Amino acid sequence: MTATVSSTAPAAVATPVADVPARRVPLAHRVPRTLSRVAWYLLCGMLALSMLLPLVWMVSIALKSNGDVNQIPPEFFPNEFQLSNFVDGPAQIHFYRLLANTMIVTVVSAFGAVASSMIVGYGISRIDFPGRNLWFALIAGSLFVPGVVGLIPLQHLYINLGLIDTWVPLILPAFFGSPIFIFLARQYYQSIPRYLDESALIDGAGHWTIFTRIMIPITKPVWITVAIMSFQLAWNDFLNPLVYLQSQEKFTLPLGMASFLSDTAGSQYNYYMATNVLFMLPPLVLFFLAQRYFMEGIGSLGTISK
């Protein structure tokens, strides 16, 4: 099964299904179709509005003045804009130091995740060797082992190695390939025609050359997807920093934001939400920059059945 090459090219997966041309459709068919479209837009519009409402509300609070934010009953929109929240808020938790910490942890983790999953995925799907199916089954199977099993033993291991209260425990696992990313990479590799590497092999190229020269460029959507997803995972990680970090100057943003909330206890929510907006921005910007590749990379999961 592993040797079969999927007939669907990865790029085709994400392409939306072409709509049937509207010409020559009888009126009796056209009216219900228009109605169904209107209903569709209404439904999507309402859903989108309710999904965006909490975010709009957050931005509104981030802009409120100290008086507005504690007004009873609360008003949805601010009476006056207090842009200084975006300066005073971050100052409460040394935001920019935490931002730098989080950036370092996140970027290094994302790099590790991309490198390890692409290399392992290549080995599993493009090199023919005995045992590879077994190892793939074991790696994919470890997806189902709850992460919590590792928490206490690994914490103890890191204590013994003197690595507690450093960023190593947060970064290290990414370099050993997470099962879900390896799975994603393998799915994508499977959809690439075999003749590409076979002709390169005949020309005398080794696997490493094929990997770096041929595969890395073609698999751009999938490694960008892995990069985004691992960036998000590391950026959002709360439990691991909570368990592994102790000194405040090493905290990552999720820890800082959680402590912000318990320290200032409600009165300064305009500061908090302003900081929250800044905290959300980096993954958001990254997502929009790489959205096209992301949708394509995720699309390779659609070929899971092949």
Partner 1 sequence: MTMMSADAVAEPLARAAAPGGARLPARRSAKRRRDTILGYLFISPAIIGLFLFVVYPMVTSLYHSFTDWNGLTPATWVGLDNYVEMFTKDPTFWPSVAVTFLWVAISVPVTIVAGLSLAVLVNRALHGVKVFRTIFYLPVVLPAIAVLTLWKYIYDPTYGLANEVLRFLHLPTSGWLGDAHVALPAILIVGVWSVGGTMIIFLAGLQAVPHELLEAAKVDGAGAIRSFVKITLPMIGPILLLQLVLQLNGAFQTFNQVAILTKGGPGTSTNLLMYKIYNDGFANFIAAPQLGYATAEVWVLFVIVMVVTLLMLRLTRGRFSAGGEA
Which CB atom, from 87 or from 161, has the smaller least distance to partner 1?
161
With binding defined as CB under 8 A, does residue 291 bind partner 1? yes
Distance CA 186, CA 3 (A): 12
Looking up tokens 């005995």 gives 130
Among 21, 26, 32, 153, binds partner 1 (CB under 8 A): 153
With binding defined as CB under 8 A, does residue 52 bind partner 1? yes
With binding defined as CB under 8 A, does residue 221 bind partner 1? no
Q: Which stretch binds partner 1 (CB under 8 A): 23-31, 192-200, 216-224, 277-285?
A: 277-285
Q: Which stretch binds partner 1 (CB under 8 A): 23-31, 41-49, 77-85, 192-200?
A: 41-49
Distance CA 94, CA 256 (A): 8
- Shortest approach of partner 1 to residue 244 CB, angstroms? 10
Among 159, 161, 195, 289, binds partner 1 (CB under 8 A): 159
8 A C-beta contact, residue 76 and residue 69: no
- Shortest approach of partner 1 to residue 96 CB, angstroms? 17
Give the 3-state secondary structure of the chain: CCCCCCCCCHHHHHCCCCCCCCCCCCHHHHHHHHHHHHHHHHHHHHHHHHHHHHHHHHHHHHHCCHHHHCCCCCCCCCCCCCCCHHHHHHHCCCHHHHHHHHHHHHHHHHHHHHHHHHHHHHHHHHCCCCCHHHHHHHHHHHHHCCCHHHHHHHHHHHHHCCCCCCCHHHHHHHHHCCHHHHHHHHHHHHCCCCHHHHHHHHCCCCHHHHHHHHHHHHCHHHHHHHHHHHHHHHHHCCHHHHHHCCCHHHCCHHHHHHHHHHHHCCCCHHHHHHHHHHHHHHHHHHHHHHHHHHHHHHHHHHHHHC
- Shortest approach of partner 1 to residue 24 CB, angstroms? 17
Up-side HSE of residue 212: CA atoms within 13 Å toward CB? 4
With binding defined as CB under 8 A, does residue 176 bind partner 1? yes
Q: Which stretch binds partner 1 (CB under 8 A): 23-31, 53-61, 82-90, 91-99?
A: 53-61
Distance CA 243, CA 67 (A): 37
Residue 94 backbone zone (phi > 0: left; psi -120 to 50: alpha; other: beta): left
With binding defined as CB under 8 A, does residue 268 bind partner 1? no
Q: Which stretch binds partner 1 (CB under 8 A): 23-31, 78-86, 147-155, 192-200?
A: 147-155
- Shortest approach of partner 1 to residue 93 CB, angstroms? 12
With binding defined as CB under 8 A, does residue 202 bind partner 1? no
With binding defined as CB under 8 A, does residue 265 bind partner 1? no
With binding defined as CB under 8 A, does residue 249 bind partner 1? no
- Shortest approach of partner 1 to residue 35 CB, angstroms? 14
Which CB atom, from 83 or from 202, has the smaller least distance to partner 1?
202
Which parts of 107-146 interact with partner 1 (CB under 8 A)?
Answer: 116, 119-120, 122-124, 127-133, 135-140, 142-146
- Shortest approach of partner 1 to residue 64 CB, angstroms? 11
Among 85, 95, 170, 177, binds partner 1 (CB under 8 A): 177
Which CB atom, from 21 or from 217, has the smaller least distance to partner 1?
21
Among 98, 182, 222, 226, binds partner 1 (CB under 8 A): 182
